[in-house]
A and B are shown apart, each in its own frame.
Chain A
Amino acid sequence: MRAAWPVRLVLWALVAIFVLWPGLFAPLLRPLAPPGMPVVYDRASLSGLTAWHLGLVAAAIVPSALMAIGLAILVTRPAGADFLPLARALGGFGQTFPPVAVLALAVPVVGFGAWPTLIALFLYGLLPILENALAGLTGVPPSVMLAADGMGMTPRQRLVRVELPLAAPLIVEGVRISAVIAISTAAIGSTVAAPGLGEVIIAGLNANNMAFVVQGGLLTAALALIVHDALGLAGGLVGPRGARARTAAA
């Protein structure tokens, strides 16, 4: 999706205004709320919940990405090649595991709050990134690997200068998939008392207040779209198009 810049900026601005001054939108939401009920979620600030939501996602996905990339590098080196089939099978296997199940299964182990959500996001985040990083690292053309060795690159130089840059677009795509799923799972995390925008939706469902459901839903959806779009842009920067921009700058 190549959203044009004006659309992108308008979306960012709308979300920022909504998060900071939700009262401005109260007239729009009023018809959805039952008479006498609050229109804007009042038990916590939307900006705080948004920050928690994104913070949880970042706190889970960053270590997740580092670990998944590390694992992918490990199993694509000669010393770790033996683990490649297992890593591949695990990657495919984990994609089949429903994110809600990961969350539900984490609760018995670590209890309620932010932790089960963080663990579920971390674990579920690993697999798409691992799978994409493996695809990227094993997809480097044999002639390019041969040339890198033939030019006298050490294994580490080949990894840093050739393999990782070539795998980067796919790796970023994996991070993108993981991040979008994490935003979705973090919302469900509110059912186990993780702070985040899911709280607003659940409060709305419990109190039958559609205004809450809609504002929580719209904000969560907007966050997911923004992150999806931003990581798509990042993917463009590390791809071949970005390579030329970097060369031109050098």
Chain B
Amino acid sequence: MIELQSVTKDFAGVRAVNDVSLTVEQGTVAAVVGTSGSGKSTLLRMVNRLIEPTSGRILIDGADTAGVPAPDLRRRIGYVIQDHGLFPHWSAARNIATVPVLLRWPRAQVRTRVRELMEMLQLDPDVIGPRLPHELSGGQAQRVGVARALAVRPELLLMDEPFGALDPVIRAQAQADLARVQKRLGTTVILVTHDMAEAIRLGDRIAVMRAGRVEQFAAPADIIARPATPFVADLLGEGDRAFRYLSLRPAADLARPEGPGAGPAAGDADAPPLSPGTTMAEALSEMIWTGRDHVRVARADGTGGTVSRDDLIRAGRPE
């Protein structure tokens, strides 16, 4: 559990972060969203003490981070930055081994760990491992950066615009990979981004920052349903609020069991069911595009169900 208690940072008289208090629960993802200059990166860098707070305390599992020498603290915390910051003179594998080597792990253990991480992030250790950073594609470099940050199984992972330099297709893939890896490892993540859609997609809780202050800290559904300030509403974009809300839940939640007499299937019984992970927003989009008012959805347990358009539209408006 990470606790920020009244954290404030002044740079030469300018208040970059102003009295921020947040708690991030174990194993969850907190997304910090804001425009540039809102203080979100500064806030993140105070957690691993790349920047020392002017006042306030930061606790990890109840222990004040100020009590640990900064390099020791940072080795326990994973850190991913936008331009990936890979060391240009080291191969991908050596980059991933950075912190284990700093901690003087035995060589064999380092090698095993690097292989394990590369496989987890779908990087071929024999092909990608010996390459230098300038020989990697943007997506590969980004994954190497994530692998490097996860090398010693940190309980906390800090990510500063980690997908900012990627093109949209690769970015979506990288976001999905991160979500998968995070669930598997149970790592606590603090993710800084300027992209509200990314925050909604990845965050369990979202902190919206503006001018050094947190304007709202809440679950995505709450942020969309009840933006606390006009700035938060602006950042959400009024136009596709309903779709954002629908994108939070799987369509399967609204599925009614299929069976004889369960209602007309509008003659599309032959159409293959949508996959279990399909969100309500995607299901509605499918209906609009194909002109149907029902779609079939597969459930994780193998059974199927039918979702109706009216149910989806009702679900798009928070109670």
Contact = CB atoms under 8 A, between A and B. Distances in A.
Contact of B71 (A141, A143, A153, A240): A153
Interface stretch (A97-105, A116-124, A191-199, A242-250): A242-250
Interface residues of B, number: 31
A238 to B, nearest CB: 9
Given A152-B71, A152-B102, A247-B94, A147 B87 contact: yes
A151 B74 contact: yes
Contacts of A152: 70-76, 99, 102
A151 B79 contact: yes
Interface in A114-157: 141, 143-144, 146-154, 157
A45 to B, nearest CB: 44
Interface string B52-67: 0000000000000000
A141 B50 CA distance: 17
A244 B93 CA distance: 11
A151 B81 contact: no
A165 interface: yes
B48 A150 contact: yes
Contacts of B134: 240
Interface of A: 141, 143-144, 146-154, 157, 161-162, 165-166, 240, 243-244, 247-248, 250
Given A147-B81, A247-B90, 13 more contacts: A146-B85, A148-B87, A150-B74, A152-B72, A152-B73, A152-B76, A153-B71, A157-B71, A161-B87, A162-B87, A166-B88, A240-B89, A244-B132
A243 B71 contact: no
B107 to A, nearest CB: 9
Nearest to A247: B91
Contacts of A151: 74-75, 79, 98-99, 102, 148
Contacts of A157: 71, 102
A30 B118 CA distance: 70
Q: Which of B87, B102, B148 has the most CB of A within 10 A?
A: B87
A244 B74 contact: no
Interface in B14-72: 48, 50, 70-72
Contacts, number: 78
Given A166-B88, A243-B90, A247-B91, A154 B71 contact: yes
Contact of A247 (B50, B81, B99, B130): B130
Interface of B: 48, 50, 70-76, 79, 81-91, 93-94, 98-99, 102, 130, 132, 134, 148, 158
A144 B88 contact: yes
Contacts of A166: 87-89
A246 B121 CA distance: 25
A153 to B, nearest CB: 7
Contacts of B99: 151-152
Contacts of A165: 89
B132 A144 contact: no
Contacts of A243: 89-91, 132
B175 to A, nearest CB: 21
A161 B102 CA distance: 10
B88 A240 contact: yes
Nearest to A168: B89
A153 B102 CA distance: 7
B309 to A, nearest CB: 48
A166 B167 CA distance: 28
A151 B93 CA distance: 15
Contact of B81 (A146, A248, A250): A146
Contacts of B72: 152
Nearest to A147: B85
Contact of A244 (B84, B86, B130): B130
Contact of B130 (A146, A150, A240, A248): A248
Contacts of A141: 83, 85, 88
Contacts of B75: 151-152
Nearest to A243: B89
